[in-house]
Amino acid sequence: MTLAQNSSAQGDLHDQKVADYKSPSGVTHLHTTTLSGIRTQSGFKFEKVDVSYQMLGKLSPARDNAILVCHGLSGTAHVAGTDAETGRPGWWDYHVGPGKAIDTDRFFIIGTNALGGCNGTTGPSSTNPQTGQPYAMDFPPVTIHDMVAVQAKLLDSLGIKKLFAVVGASMGGMQALAWAVDFPDRVRICIPIATCTAHNAMQIAFNEIGRRAIITDPNWNHGNYSETGRPAHGLAVARMVGHVTYLSELAMARKFGRRRQLETGHADQFSVESYLHHQGETFVKRFDPNSYLYLTRAIDEFNLFENATTEEVLRRIRSRFLVVSFSSDWLYPPAQSRELVRLLKRAGLAATYLNLETEYGHDSFLIENLPFANVLRNFLNGEYAPDTERRFAHLTPV
């Protein structure tokens, strides 16, 4: 299977069928735990929060090899391995597993579903203990920092004091950055990928189109929809817009061009249309429309430097960084990553930066991508070497 056949413009492994793909991690399982004492930034106090999570690999006796993997908008706790029920591989199976870039033979990997999500962690579709009904729009606004606070509580319950690394792309990259600031003593390496410190107007605009599609769907009903009458059309449109922003012009030209969808009898339909319809329909089956509203809102509201100067925020950080962007990513353009790196370095922090030449747009981190995998692997292995702290202490400005 070549890179081009396999990976061009197909989204993550959750939503695509890759012929003959077999996860090297075998069948894996998710866990759920219930945490108490979670208070959101907005001041809402949860009686309890369920967290769905996955563990891969083995925690070292020194407990120094834990890597938290944070998912993007539509991801789940299922990072790698084959799901026992659905038979589907995890969303980052290409890069996490035995012998993979994030090597489960070497590292202990934790994946969690984000607060506000809809795949096992408490979110708008969860039952509100006060009413016995789904929270729906009574769910409190959640932030990237809230998501990270829940992950930290989960790690407490697992007995993990310090992460070797926190890795995330897109929304997950925002979480990685929030980790480095909110829990500076718990993160040794921070790897934000294809992300930014705050959304710009264009990024907010695309999310707003998605949200608007959902709330103007007649089925949405202020968030109080039934299982059989969900605002599926609105969510599907939101996902279609999303998918366009995750791809690139070149990737779409290569994969679809102006070809027609002849084999399904829709000669009047362009391939790209049928692809987007399919992506929309698939997504609707597994994602809650209200979660989409809350998570995109959390992403749009995120600003690493809110309520403080950049100096004040960055002064707290103790991690070393690997920042990666992709040349064809126009949703999270490389300039945003470069600006992040500039701020980190001006604050005297050690940061390695790569802008990888790929054709696949924002999705470049999800697909099989050898240069990306090599950089990730080499960086993690290099930093995990025991003498690293001595060789590359922080570069502190005079």
Partner 1 sequence: MNSGIYETVTQWIPEKSRVLDLGTGDGTFLEQLVQTRHITGEGVEKDPELVARCVQRGLVVHQGDIAEGLDQHADGAFDFVLLLGTFQELIQPAEIIREAFRVGQQVIISYDNFAHYHVRLQVLFQGRTPITPALPTPWYRTQNLHFLSVADFQSFCRDTGIRETRRAFFNSHGMVHFRPNLRAETAVSLLETSR
Please state whether 120 falls in left (phi above 0), alpha (psi between -120 and 50) or beta.
Answer: left
Q: Which of residues 52-91 bind partner 1 (CB under 8 A)?
A: none
Residue 389 interacts with partner 1 (CB under 8 A)?
A: no
Residue 129 interacts with partner 1 (CB under 8 A)?
A: no
Tell me the closest approach of the beta carbon of residue 340 to partner 1, in angstroms: 11
Tell me the closest approach of the beta carbon of residue 370 to partner 1, in angstroms: 10
- Output the CA–CA distances (angstroms, integers) from residue 355 to 224, 358, 364, 371, in the order listed: 43, 9, 11, 11
Residue 345 interacts with partner 1 (CB under 8 A)?
A: yes
Q: Which residue's CB is nearer to partner 1, number 303 or number 355?
A: 355
Residue 317 interacts with partner 1 (CB under 8 A)?
A: no
Q: Which residue's CB is nearer to partner 1, number 17 or number 391?
A: 391
Tell me the closest approach of the beta carbon of residue 292 to partner 1, in angstroms: 34
CB-count exposure of residue 300 (10 Å: 0-12, 13-18, 19+):
middle
Alpha carbon distance 129, 349 (integer Å): 44
Tell me the closest approach of the beta carbon of residue 337 to partner 1, in angstroms: 10
Q: Which of residues 348-387 bind partner 1 (CB under 8 A)?
A: 348, 350-357, 371, 374-375, 378-379, 382-383, 385
Q: Which residue's CB is nearer to partner 1, number 218 or number 371?
A: 371
Residue 388 interacts with partner 1 (CB under 8 A)?
A: yes
Is residue 178 within 8 Å of residue 76, measured between CB atoms? no
Is residue 150 within 8 Å of residue 34, measured between CB atoms? no
Q: Which residue's CB is nearer to partner 1, number 47 or number 357?
A: 357
Alpha carbon distance 290, 192 (integer Å): 26
Residue spans of alpha helices (H) in 110-246: 144-158, 171-182, 201-215, 232-246
Among 26, 29, 346, 389, binds partner 1 (CB under 8 A): 346
Q: Which two tokens stand for residue 117?
A: 């999500």
Residue 312: partners with Cβ closer than 8 Å, 6 or more residues away? none
Q: How many residues bind partner 1 (CB under 8 A)?
A: 31
Q: Which of residues 173-202 bind partner 1 (CB under 8 A)?
A: none
Q: Which of residues 224-263 bind partner 1 (CB under 8 A)?
A: none
Tell me the closest approach of the beta carbon of residue 26 to partner 1, in angstroms: 29
Among 27, 185, 342, 389, binds partner 1 (CB under 8 A): 342
Is residue 52 within 8 Å of residue 77, measured between CB atoms? yes
Is residue 251 within 8 Å of residue 328, measured between CB atoms? yes
| Cα–Cα–Cα angle for 257, 214, 204, rounded to 5 degrees | 70
Catalytic residues: 170, 329, 362
Residue spans of alpha helices (H) in 183-325: 201-215, 232-246, 249-255, 271-286, 289-301, 310-315
Q: Which residue's CB is nearer to partner 1, number 41 or number 352?
A: 352
Residue 205 interacts with partner 1 (CB under 8 A)?
A: no
Residue 99 interacts with partner 1 (CB under 8 A)?
A: no
Residue 49 interacts with partner 1 (CB under 8 A)?
A: no
**Phi and psi of 382, rounded to 5°?**
-65, -45
Residue 347 interacts with partner 1 (CB under 8 A)?
A: yes
Alpha carbon distance 146, 165 (integer Å): 19
Helix (H, G, I), strand (E, B) or coil at 104: coil
Partners of 165 in the beta sheet?
67, 189
Tell me the closest approach of the beta carbon of residue 359 to partner 1, in angstroms: 14
Tell me the closest approach of the beta carbon of residue 388 to partner 1, in angstroms: 7
Residue 331 interacts with partner 1 (CB under 8 A)?
A: no
Would you tell me which residues interact with partner 1 (CB under 8 A)?
320, 338, 341-342, 345-348, 350-357, 371, 374-375, 378-379, 382-383, 385, 388, 391-393, 395, 397-398
